[in-house]
Structure 1
Amino acid sequence: MDLNRAAWRKSTRSNANGQCVEIADNISGIVAVRDSKDPAGPALVVSSVAFGAFTASLKRR
């Protein structure tokens, strides 16, 4: 998966030391997730639909 066009962003709720995950949701049909401490490392790529279902389930808790 080519993520060269990915626009990565951190949560506004990330802590002061920046240890969090980043997501890129600007590529059609997918959302990529990576460790902010290792931006050159691997990324988890899921469908936009699956990521939407995941975040919706978190909001219900």
Structure 2
Amino acid sequence: MVREVACKKCKALTTGKMCPVCKSTELSKDWFGILLIMNPQKSKVASTLEIKVPHKYALKVT
């Protein structure tokens, strides 16, 4: 099973070596909580967190 890593800049989760949202390579294995954003234009949570791209995100990345 492949372990997901989180981007330190935008908190997007990925199994690759580069963030699919912001293209950063600063990734962390140390994260917790999952937030799924399906429609960021209508989501108050996405608006509060300034998320513009539908994706799976970590709540906290260290």
Give TM-score, length-normalised by structure 2: 0.26
More helix by share: 1
More strand by share: 2
Give TM-score, length-normalised by structure 1: 0.26
Higher relative contact order (CA 8 A, sep 6+): 2
